[in-house]
Amino acid sequence: MVPPDLLELSNHLVGLENELALVFNTASDIMVLMDARGVVRRINPAGLRMLKLPPGDEIGRRFHDWTHPEDVAITEKALAAGEVSPGMNLQNRWLDHEGKEHVLVWTISHQKNSMVAVGKEMTKFTFLFPHQLNLLNTALELAKDGVVITDNQAVDNPIIYANPSMRRITGYDRHELIGRNCRILAASEPQRARDTLRQYLKEGRGCTVLLRNKRKNGEHYFQHLTVTPVYNGVPSPLNYIGIQRDVSDEVESGHIKYAPEGLFGFELTV
């Protein structure tokens, strides 16, 4: 007779397996299960539809068999044992059975004896090659203005990127900003522009405001902030990009008039 606790565990595992199978079979994203060498064990229905393959035709083939020839090298490097860590991103192009090109971004997890790749088609995205990504990253890292990117899909819209100028302006290190909401910079006094910004973000719109913020050391400064939503073809913003400039000198000189009761927080003077 099977012990009750062992039977309960067995039933739990069966239920978990059924739930995972349901996710695999109904997911809109492409899911590829592979062994440690990159040999395909299964592709979910969404992936088979994109590739225009009947079920079973993918088994035993390699992940890069559908990869555009120009992207094979970066794909093989990403899949190489020891070079993939959980959550790693890869961008490449796949060719379906009819030769049509599909631009994909992958999140790859590497286990001891297997790999799982989850891909999202980027038909409405701009595909960037590695050298272009490096160029954009260099531009962000060297920009004089502070730049932050937030994840609007996560709880409390946390910061996921802050460039060196952002850290210089605020006094916070990167690890102190990542994962935090931009409220970390807020001064304590009421500002109508902050309410405006909050409402615009709620509506998925961008805006420009002047805020009186606080650095890590408690010093106040004036921040000219432009926030832009990033939709990428979905109903609500995936991310927000914030570009801030320290305009304390301009406010002190009178070139920019700080108006805490103003809708956007500032008035330009001639």
Confidence of residue 118 (pLDDT cuts 50, 70, 90): confident
Instruction: Over range 85-97, report the average pLDDT.
Output: 72
- Position 85 pLDDT exceeds 60: no
Contacts of 187 (CB under 8 A, 6+ apart): 211, 212, 213, 214, 220
Strands (E), 81-237: 88-95, 101-110, 114-121, 146-151, 159-162, 207-214, 220-230
- Position 148 pLDDT exceeds 90: yes
pLDDT at 82: 46
Lowest-pLDDT range of 88-97, 202-211, 260-269: 260-269
Confidence of residue 16 (pLDDT cuts 50, 70, 90): low
Measured between alpha carbons, how far is 132 from 127 in angstroms, rounded to an integer?
9
The whole-model pTM stands at 0.54
Instruction: Over range 40-45, report the average pLDDT.
Output: 91
Q: What six digits make up the tokens of 133? A: 């990504």
Topology of domain 4-121, CATH: Beta-Lactamase (3.30.450)
Instruction: Over range 163-186, report the average pLDDT.
Output: 93
Q: Hey, what CATH class is 130-268 in?
A: alpha beta
Phi, psi of 244 (to 5 degrees): -120, 145
Phi, psi of 201 (to 5 degrees): -65, -40
Confidence of residue 28 (pLDDT cuts 50, 70, 90): confident
Confidence of residue 84 (pLDDT cuts 50, 70, 90): very low
Q: What six digits make up the tokens of 132? A: 């272009």
Confidence of residue 87 (pLDDT cuts 50, 70, 90): very low
Q: Tens digits of per-residue pLDDT, 215-263?
A: 999 999 999 999 999 876 567 888 899 999 999 999 999 888 888 888 8
Domain boundaries, the chain: 4-121, 130-268
- Entry field: residues in the chain: 270
Q: Tens digits of per-residue pLDDT, 198-208?
A: 999 988 889 99
Lowest-pLDDT range of 23-37, 46-60, 209-223: 23-37
